[in-house]
A and B are shown apart, each in its own frame.
Chain A
Amino acid sequence: MREVLLRRILLLVPLLWVVSTAVFALLHLIPGDPVDFMVGENATLDRKAELTAAYGLDRPLFLDVEALGEPGPIGGRFARAVTDTQYAGFYRALFTGELRSLHTRRSVWDTLGDRFPETLRLAGCALLVSILLAVPLGTLAAWRRGSWVDQASMAGALVGVSMPNFWLGPLLILVFAVELGWLPVSGSTAPGAIVLPAVTLGLGMSAILTRITRASVLETLHADYVRTARAKGVSEVGALFRHALRAALLPVITIVGLQFGALLTGSIITEEIFGWPGIGREVIQAIRSRDFPMVQGCVLLIATTYVAVNTVTDVAYTLADPRVRLDDR
């Protein structure tokens, strides 16, 4: 058990190494000259030379073969051949914060430090919206199984899953911001500005959660201990809340964790629609303006968060339910 957990956590190291190497390689996978890609073919030669020097694009990619051939002890030669490359330079820039935006010259980590909390705030609120919607609805649907409440909420859940957030968002803006004027169209500072993006992001997840809650509550409602509670004279409502619901919420919590990564991904488009100053909008803007270091920073941060959330969920799941075997999935 402990070994399995340890292996899962140790796996993070090679995983993040591969991820960061892929992010480094991105720039060189583009057809054509990377400098042309970043500043355009018509940029001045000075600007191009400056960029080439700044990124060490004139250096070898992974291994400096010339340095290997120089005189001196083999260890020193090898060290020089490996460190004086673009690949090593990329990691140096990552760890020293010298990875800078092409346009603002600001350190990528500083910008992301501003943006990331905004994304977390949005994702957190979306999570809240979906839980507040899904748990009561799913419980009610299970309690009154087969009734119109049940059927309506199940149909609604499927519709919710199928609703693209890039359509729902503009519709919500149209109704609540433009027609009714209750909430701001975009931005993050005005009061209530978070409501529309959070609902847009949270609705899809609440649809999934509603179904899980319903299935889970249905299962516990038929469990022996709930029947025992009923036999002892506990009221219907008491049996539901005190006995069934409590046990039913464990799988729901797991799904919340598993879906949090999806929430981060969904925030890319949602932030773009609402002009929310998070990491999702940043990555889209960086892609549009070909701000490559910024793209690298964003992708690396999103992937790292994603991996971290998945690992934490896996570990929590194993701790909560020892029957789960991590290595076999």
Chain B
Amino acid sequence: MSAIRIGAMLVVALVLCAALAPWIGRLDPEDCRLAAELAGPSRLHWLGADADGCDIYSRIIHGSRISLWVGVTVVSVSALIGTAVGLPSGWYGGRPDRALMFVLECFQAFPGILLAIAITALSPTRSVGLVIVALCVSGWVSYARLVRAKTLELREAEFVTAARAIGMGPVRIMLRQILPNVVPLLVIQATFGMAGAILAEAGLSFLGLGAPPGVPSWGSMLNDGREYMLVAPHLSVWPGVAIMLTVLGFNFLGDGLRDRMDPRTRTSRR
């Protein structure tokens, strides 16, 4: 089976989990019974229960909503900002373009996760929205770079010269001629971006800087499970499996898409 197919299957499974969570989640993830504390797998709790007696299976199913929500918002906002900045910068060049390049350099001086840690840690409250903002702050940079570089390259292309010759305005050329050629690259980058954002959210929640307590985020579940590693390893195993399969799905999909759209970078079969 090809990478693209495995990836698509995993991603579809994630979307289905998120969409159907109230029906396939079985138990309410917020309704926890202390009596079930650290219970192993049973007919009621398929994957066991955590330290507060919450059902792990339903928390994982509901957690897919958080991951998907963070991934989709971070990627779309970042891609939008990156395109809005990168397109005119690459097209017009000159001083504004140099200024943008310097701004990008400054943002890239901070490793993305460090910036996100700093932003979330400084806030007095924890929320998923803050995580999204924190990840967008460093996220848009790579999209801006990508769009700018491609625009710079396409600016000299013959079809752009032709469009200019027939009197097309710069804005229309950017949107009608250049943007459609950038979109495939954006889609690939966004697919990997989904994996990155989901991983980053889980990492922040793992550090206790992401989702507030009680919200079923996979990263928080891993964090909660650390204390009980010795007595109840199932607390840590399943959320980790969920994160890995999700990230793997997007990575496979991105890989497959890249191979299909740009045969030159093909790694699977040369």
Interface of A with B (CB < 8 Å)? 11, 14-15, 18-19, 22, 26, 29-32, 37, 145-146, 154, 158-159, 161-164, 166-167, 170-171, 173-174, 178, 211, 214-215, 218-219, 261-262, 264-265, 268-269, 272, 283-284, 287, 295, 299, 302-303, 306-307, 310, 328-329
Contact = CB atoms under 8 A, between A and B. Distances in A.
B255 interface: yes
A302 B110 CA distance: 8
A31 B248 contact: no
A167 B222 contact: yes
Contact of A158 (B111, B207, B255): B255
Contacts, number: 121
Contacts of A262: 111
In the A-B complex, the 7 residue pairs with the smallest Cβ-Cβ separation, listed nearest first, are A167-B240, A265-B111, A162-B248, A162-B247, A287-B121, A166-B206, A18-B106
Contacts of A284: 117, 207
B240 A171 contact: yes
Given A31-B124, A299-B110, A159 B248 contact: yes
Contacts of A295: 118, 121
Given A15-B109, A167-B222, A299-B114, 5 more contacts: A22-B110, A158-B251, A167-B240, A284-B207, A329-B149
Nearest to A261: B111
B62 interface: no
B139 interface: no
Contact of B203 (A159, A164, A170, A287): A164
Nearest to B269: A146
Contacts of B197: none
B168 interface: no
B118 A299 contact: yes
A150 to B, nearest CB: 10
Interface residues of B, number: 47
B229 A265 contact: no
B122 interface: yes
Interface in B93-107: 102, 105-106
B200 to A, nearest CB: 10
Contacts of B243: 164, 167
Contacts of B240: 164, 167, 170-171
A15 B270 CA distance: 41
A173 to B, nearest CB: 7
Interface of B: 3, 102, 105-106, 108-114, 117-118, 121-122, 124, 145, 149, 152, 195, 199, 202-203, 206-207, 219, 222, 225-226, 229-230, 233, 236-237, 239-240, 243-244, 247-248, 251-252, 255, 267-270
Nearest to A36: B124
A216 to B, nearest CB: 11
A53 to B, nearest CB: 23
- B149, B203, B252 interface centre (most CB from chain A within 10 Å): B203
A310 B225 CA distance: 36
B262 to A, nearest CB: 14
B247 to A, nearest CB: 4
A164 B229 contact: no
Contact of B236 (A167, A211, A219, A268): A167
A303 B112 CA distance: 10
Nearest to A304: B109
Contact of B244 (A22, A162, A214, A303): A162
A174 B114 contact: no
A218 B239 CA distance: 37
A269 B206 contact: yes
Nearest to B241: A167
Contacts of B206: 166, 269
Contact of B102 (A14, A31, A154, A219): A14
Nearest to A16: B109
Contacts of B112: 265
Contacts of A158: 3, 248, 251-252, 255
Given A164-B243, A329-B149, A32 B105 contact: no
B145 A303 contact: no
A215 B267 contact: yes
A302 B111 CA distance: 8
Contacts of A214: 267
